[in-house]
Structure 1
């Protein structure tokens, strides 16, 4: 079984399918300012939609830092997304993952598109 850090880092790096087996039946994913997803089915649908969009995009993580506690992990990232139609965009995100007995029970995601000059 992977550690909570490995589960969180897989999700934050868009390797969603690696996490599906560890979603708690009452998992909740809050995309701050956008949506609240409840239950594994809603989370998986959103992940699969994201993977479909990402299949046409290259992703480069410029920052990927994790902070790990006993039952929570925070992952702070800056990613550059590029596809054939546009120059690309930079997105800064912080995901906070909550666990109970190894099950992922909560995800809170903060994301914002940033200018290239703001990449640090």
Structure 2
């Protein structure tokens, strides 16, 4: 399936990781600022699988507020609300910056996440 860079980025920001694994560069880097860095396709996919498992354990509500596309870069900001049994577990404001190589492979993701304080 041929996806645009924006579609690839939106799938990632929406937690639909498995739909885009084939678009990851072998040397992909995912930097979650202030938390973790994942280097290489296996490390990024493994983390995506862990995150996806969490998303399956809660009700998720992702909202995209803005998308900016500039050549081989896409930036998306929005929010994510996670709830269980009708109660909010957490709420996150996020901005993801995606960088693609000339083969339209995702090479670098920089994620900025701010979690609501309880």
Aligned length: 116
1:83 counterpart residue number: 84
User: C-alpha distance in 2, partners of 1:31/1:69?
Assistant: 21
Report matched runs for 1:1-120 at 5 Å.
1-84=2-85, 86-101=87-102, 102-114=104-116
Unaligned runs of 5+ in 2: none
- Any gaps of 5 or more consecutive residues in structure 1? none
SS state at 2:65 partner: strand
TM-score, normalising length: structure 1: 0.89
TM-score, structure 2 normalization: 0.91
- Once the 2 structures are TM-superposed, how far is the Cα of residue 115 of structure 1 from its aligned partner? 5.6
Give the match's secondary structure for 1:20: helix
Deviation at 1:63, TM superposition (A): 4.0
Tell me the CA shift for residue 79 of structure 1. Answer: 1.5
> 2-side partners of 1:62 and 1:20: how far apart?
22
After superposition, the CA RMSD in angstroms is 1.7
Secondary structure of the 1:51 match is helix
What are the superposed Cα offsets for residues 36-55 of structure 1, whole Å, 9 maximum, x if unpaired? 10111000000000111111
